[in-house]
Structure 1
């Protein structure tokens, strides 16, 4: 082996760990959205509605706990907040099951469902880790007609939550 080749190999071996440590960590592959009835994220993903980059990342609507926005406070997903975008509305009954698809599972405090500022349901997981899918049966009580449901998945070990909006007609 030539002296220059050996030196290059030694230098490469010495520098590689430094480069690896200084590179930015990849973004988390994010985490979950409601696919049934079809949420706004799901409608973007499946091409029902024309959307920006949320169509490639329906699971990525993560923001601080306590928000009431469909986009989780993320400007790059602002399409989700546009109530005039042509979202398909699902006809549902007073009792409706909402199904989440989870691409990364986190220990969970609660799952919450809101219509406007009214919390209509909360499911307490007490810090448990959910499976790859989660279903909740929500009772809307006396609420009827065209509504936007905000579903929130509150993570147990971070100050973050995942947000998903679903347009429904409650019959």
Structure 2
């Protein structure tokens, strides 16, 4: 009986590390958001606006591709969908730079920007892996005045995307 226990202990000691290394790693809980101009989640993280969980996870607004909500469909981050929260509005020109701060750099299919109910820009990265920051020059076309911009980072190798909303005043 004592020999069986020793054998089991030895086998466990040999098999456990192999299993630990061969099991798939869990996905990171951090990814990316727009830092400039300050997105709604950047404002939450900075304490500019009082928010819930997103205050501690501004980079985690992830959901299925094709959504149009600031929260990425995640109820934990529903504060981002509330247009009455007093979001700071950034004055911008007709062409503006949007900078993503990335905490996990996923292979990227496209970056999309929507305002005024239409897509105003798309950048195709063809599966490339971005650096720690990504900046896009976005032209608002004929749009002016206060706009809520929805920025979407479409990951190349999953069905998910990352979402950020930025409140701007074009030409203001």
TM-score past 0.5 threshold: yes
Q: 2:120: which partner in 1? A: 120
Q: Distance in 1 between matches of 2:45 and 2:27?
A: 20
Give the Å deviation of 1:20.
6.2
Runs of 5+ unmatched residues, structure 1 = none
CA deviations on 1:110-142 (whole Å, 9 max, x unpaired) are: 100000320000001111110000000000011
SS in 2 for 1:163: strand
Q: 1:96: which partner in 2? A: 96
Q: 1:10: which partner in 2? A: 9
Give the Å deviation of 1:10.
3.0
Q: 2:34: which partner in 1? A: 34
Q: Does 1:164 align with 2:164?
A: yes
Q: Distance in 1 between matches of 2:67 and 2:108?
A: 17
Q: Distance in 1 between matches of 2:114 and 2:96?
A: 13
TM-score (ref. length: structure 2): 0.87
Q: 2:85: which partner in 1? A: 85
SS in 2 for 1:50: coil
Q: Distance in 1 between matches of 2:20 and 2:56?
A: 27
Q: 2:75: which partner in 1? A: 75
Q: Distance in 2 between matches of 1:167 and 1:30?
A: 23
SS in 2 for 1:121: strand
Q: 2:55: which partner in 1? A: 55
Instruction: Say whether the 8 Å CA contact 1:29–1:103 is kept in structure 2.
Output: no
Give the Å deviation of 1:28.
1.8
Q: 2:146: which partner in 1? A: 146
TM-score (ref. length: structure 1): 0.87
Give the Å deviation of 1:15.
9.4
Q: How many residue pairs end up in the alignment?
A: 166
SS in 2 for 1:112: strand
Give the Å deviation of 1:27.
5.2
In angstroms, what is the RMSD of aligned CA positions?
A: 2.5
Q: Does 1:65 align with 2:65?
A: yes
Give the Å deviation of 1:29.
2.5
